[in-house]
Amino acid sequence: MLARYPILKQLFYWLLSFSLLVFIYGTAYDSYELGAKIILMLLPVHMCYFYLIAHWVVPRFFFRDKYIKTFFLVLLIMLLIAVLYRMVEVFITDPYIYRFYKLRDSSFTWPKLSLPKWAQLKSPVDFVNAVERTNTVVWICVTLKLFILWNERKQAVLQAELNFLKGQLHPHFLFNSLNNLYALSLDNAPQTPAIILGISNILRYVLYECTAEQVSLKRDIEVLNDYIELEKLRYEDRLELNVNMSDNTGNVKIAPLLMLPLVENAFKHGAAETTDTPWINIELYVSGDTLAFKISNSKPEQPVVNSSGKKGSGDIGLLNLRKRLELLYPGKHLFRYFDEGDCFIAELNVQLSSTAKNKK
């Protein structure tokens, strides 16, 4: 919620800073009431210091690699803020503290207040203390802000990479679908209209529903089944296909398009290229929040060379999938495949999240 409402985030930071300063000053003065009042007087100085550093020096100089200017600006601002802090102390807070204790103890004295204001301002010890006090909380806040900015930029880079990888899947699927349609149209196959309709439904899912970070696993499996049905129309009885998918998906959610490339790869580089009786086995089980997916397919003894002289393009989809898994499920997935002489086997295990957990 704080990320969506920057004002609330700023308010939270300053309430936290105020509480910390009240604790420190209240303990020193042996009165949290006095500590709170003094901090209210000094807080504008802390805020001025923070916003100068965090919203002017850092974005305009530090982020633009102007490190020498950054250093001297920070040093200059630090000294000016310390002077401002001392002025507030000499003219406002110190007299208030004196009156506070004098009302409670008529014999209370504070010798330094008898000195001229200029002499109080020039006190080296008090100036060093002012530098220390102004920097303690402000640099904690600046460090937190830099960490948040670093994390936001890191997330933006990861999201950009994920969008790029996901974007590669769309033309890849469309290209393969057009190839299939072209092959069927050459033979004037009667199942061509049904396949066009099925591809249209899948493309709608790929292009529109998959823009979300996560989708229902049940919906993702429905699309897998739609794709398999399309391929069954294409191969008819020439393909030995065994599909065993669990219906027990509950409210589990998954990043879209993790399994479709594997299924597509099995049909394109397995069934389509096998001259004898091709076969494909697909298994999907869900246990709690863990998905186990396994697919195996026959393959030709000799790799099929395409028109460009290369051996298939299945590795591109597999590399894409591996990168997406590393970004989406770091430490929560297992993906491996075995390229044997007469078959190809891929196994995917992912620890997913449920809708209920996401709402917490």
> For residue 317, what are its two tokens?
């989809």
Confidence of residue 49 (pLDDT cuts 50, 70, 90): confident
Mean pLDDT of 296-318: 63
Confidence of residue 281 (pLDDT cuts 50, 70, 90): very high
Residue spans per domain, the chain: 6-152, 189-358
pLDDT of residue 307: 46
pLDDT of residue 274: 62
Confidence of residue 309 (pLDDT cuts 50, 70, 90): very low
**Given 3.40.640.10, 3.20.20.70, 3.40.462.10, 3.30.565.10, which CATH number is that of 189-358?**
3.30.565.10
Q: What is the pLDDT of residues 77-115, one digit of tens each?
A: 999 999 999 999 999 999 999 999 988 888 888 888 888
Q: What's the distance, CA 176 to chain centroid?
A: 31
Q: How far is CA 111 from CA 49, 85, 95, 103, 276, in A?
A: 30, 20, 12, 17, 103
pTM over 0.85: no
> For residue 311, what are its two tokens?
């051996």
Would strands 279-287 and 353-354 be described as parallel, antiparallel, or unpaired? Answer: unpaired
- Contact predicate 260/295, CB 8 Å: no
Q: What is residue 155's three-state secondary structure?
A: helix
Neighbours of 314 (CB within 10 A): 20
Confidence of residue 176 (pLDDT cuts 50, 70, 90): low
What's the rounded Cα separation, in Å, for the pair 66 and 63? 8
Confidence of residue 177 (pLDDT cuts 50, 70, 90): low
Read off the DSSP letter of residue 272.
T
Percent of the chain with pLDDT over 90: 18
Confidence of residue 147 (pLDDT cuts 50, 70, 90): confident
In this predicted structure, the answer to whether residue 173 has a pLDDT above a threshold of 70 is: no
